[in-house]
Amino acid sequence: MNNRLNKHTDEEIKDSLMKQTDASIEMKNEIWSRIEKRINEDNENLEKSEVTINNEKETDKQLRNNEEQIYNRRARKNNVVEEINTVQSRSNLRKGRINMRTEKRNQKNRKRMFNIGTIAASLLIVFLAGTAPGHATIERIKDFFLPEKPIVEEIEGMKEEKNVQLQESKYGYVIYFDETVYKLEELEGKDRILPMNQAANYPEVYMEIQQVEDKNIETSATEIQKELKDQYEIVMTGEEVLEPVKGILLYAQAGNEWDDEVLRYYIVDNTQGGSFIIKQQFFVEASEGHGVRFDNMLKEFQIVKLQE
Amino acid sequence: MEDLIWKIKDGHQASFKVLYDQYADYTIRVAIAITKNSAYAADAVQETFIRVYNNIQSFDDSKPFEPWLYRILVNECNRVLKKQSKTISISDYMEDSSIMSEEDSYEFEEYEDLYSAIEDLEDLNRIPIILKYLRGFTENEIADILELNVNTVKSRLFKGREKLRKMMERYKEGRRQYE
């Protein structure tokens, strides 16, 4: 009897749900049109960004060719200088003319040497930008970081093309972000990157970066992990990561509601026995917005050595 | 199904349309039932299939497709609802408040039919009920979709069903009194 009643209830629930959602048939084609449109738009955007990338590759190729030409010319020039020196020792009569020619070539050579230096420094930066954090003297290398560059960022499945600007910190690093969306505030001993317009009634969102010279990454990570465990309901075990920066990732969440606080830390080796503590604070629903943007910023994070 | 997924992974857009046709009906139904609003449901389903298309490469095809699809769908429905809840207008709020006060006074009259009763269940009970009765998912599959323990799902389904049964009894009783 009870089973029969249950079965009857089950059928009624099912019938009711099916009947009340019959609009699905009419909506099906309209939704597909919207999906198709979005996919086509995304594909077009992707093609455009591929063209940009190909153009950038072409520019890189040209730069490499130029570099090779410079090296070859330099080698040829050195041979010419040696030849001139030999001739110089043989004939004092031709000395003035040869000196003139040498001076001209030296001028050219200095110019070329500058180009070689620029490329070599760029290569050094590219090398430093790899998985291992490296050092460079900020005064010497800051000229080699582009003050602004275009990036393509994917937020909640949508690709956004934008320009990001170089930020040089007095705490020994450089980073890029979109200055129309974020700003950098200097606090005591650390920097805070935060949205230009922090929405009212929303939990606070920011990313703080500080260098702790007297604590290595393990010590810093252990201390922060302990604090998180004391304060937050959900705390992830720390893990080593290679992206967006090489370091230790710590993660904590106050709960699963849309506005529950989320904390994400990256502890990065400063290669001098200390560490960089990067703290991101946002909220559950901002994970795919600010959370992703902060991580994208960190992909461009570079440690630089401050000049004494 | 595996062939279809492979073709989509290879970038075959026509196969994606086949997949959409195969799953659209029930995903739209489930989205309507969860969001209680056709426009929100359309947004959620649209985003779900776009996410499927963009992330199909990361789908592990040794696992069943449907729980993965519905996990994305439920998340998208919740996302749409959260977004809407932030922009709820004063008039909507007033309307909701008046419904609540009437609900206190006239009890069963608010449940015009069973669907209204389902709509009035708490999300904890409502979403498992929708997945079970509308799409016919098993308790294990629902646990997989909602990332819950299977015993939690059993308990939520049981409680949801009991609440519905009581609401229906009250509703039928009320109707009899008015007849």
The whole-number average pLDDT for the span A168-178 is 90
Low-confidence winner among A2-11, A74-83, B7-16, B44-53 (lowest mean pLDDT): A74-83
Low-confidence winner among A97-111, B43-57, B108-122 (lowest mean pLDDT): A97-111
* Percent of chain A residues past pLDDT 90, beyond the cut: 24
Query: Does residue B146 sit at the A interface (CB-CB below 8 Å)?
Result: no
Given a cut of 70, whether residue B83 has pLDDT beyond it is yes
The whole-number average pLDDT for the span A250-265 is 88
Low-confidence winner among A132-136, A296-300, B42-46 (lowest mean pLDDT): A132-136
Average pLDDT, chain B: 80
pLDDT at A197: 80
pLDDT at A55: 65
A297 vs A53: CA distance, rounded Å? 19
Domains, chain A, in order of start with CATH, read 1-128 (no CATH), 138-303 (3.40.1000.10)
Query: Does residue B77 sit at the A interface (CB-CB below 8 Å)?
Result: no
The whole-number average pLDDT for the span B9-35 is 90
The residue that leads in pLDDT, B168 or A76, is B168
pLDDT at A143: 54
Low-confidence winner among A76-90, A148-162, A233-247, B137-151 (lowest mean pLDDT): A76-90
Sort out which chain B residues have CB atoms less than 8 A from A258's CB and list them. 82
- 8 Å CB contact of A39 and B29: no
- 8 Å CB contact of B113 and A16: yes
Given a cut of 50, whether residue B99 has pLDDT beyond it is no
pLDDT at B61: 79
| Inter-chain contacts counted by CB atoms under 8 A, chains A and B | 89
Query: Does residue B45 sit at the A interface (CB-CB below 8 Å)?
Result: yes
Q: How far is A12 from chain B (nearest CA, A)?
A: 8
Low-confidence winner among A101-105, A230-234, A295-299, A303-307 (lowest mean pLDDT): A101-105
Q: Name A193's bridge partners.
A: A184, A207
Given a cut of 90, whether residue A5 has pLDDT beyond it is no
- 8 Å CB contact of A17 and B115: yes
pLDDT at A233: 80
Residue-wise DSSP of B37-84: -HHHHHHHHHHHHHHHHHHGGG--TTS-HHHHHHHHHHHHHHHHHHHH
Q: Strands A173-177, A182-187: parallel, antiparallel or unpaired by DSSP?
A: unpaired
Name the nearest CA neighbour of B152 among B144, B143, B141: B143
Domain ranges in chain B are: 1-89, 97-179
The whole-number average pLDDT for the span A31-40 is 89
What is the CATH architecture of B97-179?
Orthogonal Bundle (1.10)
The residue that leads in pLDDT, A242 or A104, is A242
Low-confidence winner among A112-121, A284-293, B29-38, B63-72 (lowest mean pLDDT): A112-121
A156, amino acid identity: E
The pLDDT-based confidence of A182 (bands split at 50, 70, 90) is very high
Query: Does residue B22 sit at the A interface (CB-CB below 8 Å)?
Result: no
Name the nearest CA neighbour of B141 among B156, B131, B130, B127: B131
- 8 Å CB contact of A28 and B25: yes
Cα distances (angstroms) measured from residue A117 to each of A93, A123, A137, B35:
37, 10, 15, 62
**Which tokens is B5 given?**
């997924």
**CB proximity list for B95: less than 8 A, separation 6 or greater:** none
pLDDT at B100: 36
Q: Between the ranges B78-92, B100-114, B141-155, where is the mean pLDDT highest?
A: B141-155
Question: Pick from B13, B54, B168: which is nearest to A157 by CB?
Answer: B54
The whole-number average pLDDT for the span B45-51 is 93
* Percent of chain B residues past pLDDT 70, beyond the cut: 81
The whole-number average pLDDT for the span A26-38 is 89
pLDDT at A148: 84
A22 vs A15: CA distance, rounded Å? 11
The whole-number average pLDDT for the span B99-106 is 38
The residue that leads in pLDDT, B121 or B172, is B121
pLDDT at A63: 57
Average pLDDT, chain A: 74
The whole-number average pLDDT for the span A8-37 is 84
Given a cut of 60, whether residue A167 has pLDDT beyond it is yes
The pLDDT-based confidence of A212 (bands split at 50, 70, 90) is very high
pLDDT at A141: 52
pLDDT at B86: 55
Strand ranges across the sheet with A275-283? A182-187, A190-195, A206-212, A275-283, A261-269, A247-253, A234-241
- 8 Å CB contact of B28 and A35: no
The residue that leads in pLDDT, A56 or A278, is A278
The pLDDT-based confidence of A134 (bands split at 50, 70, 90) is very low
Question: Pick from B20, B29, B130: which is nearest to A24 by CB?
Answer: B29
Q: Name A258's bridge partners.
A: none
pLDDT at B98: 36
Q: Count CB-CB contacts under 10 A for residue A110.
A: 9
**Residue where the block lists tokens 């830390």:** A265
Given a cut of 90, whether residue A205 has pLDDT beyond it is yes
- 8 Å CB contact of A25 and B25: yes
Given a cut of 50, whether residue B36 has pLDDT beyond it is yes
Query: Does residue B106 sit at the A interface (CB-CB below 8 Å)?
Result: no
pLDDT at A110: 39
pLDDT at A7: 66
pLDDT at A66: 59
What is the CATH architecture of B1-89?
Orthogonal Bundle (1.10)
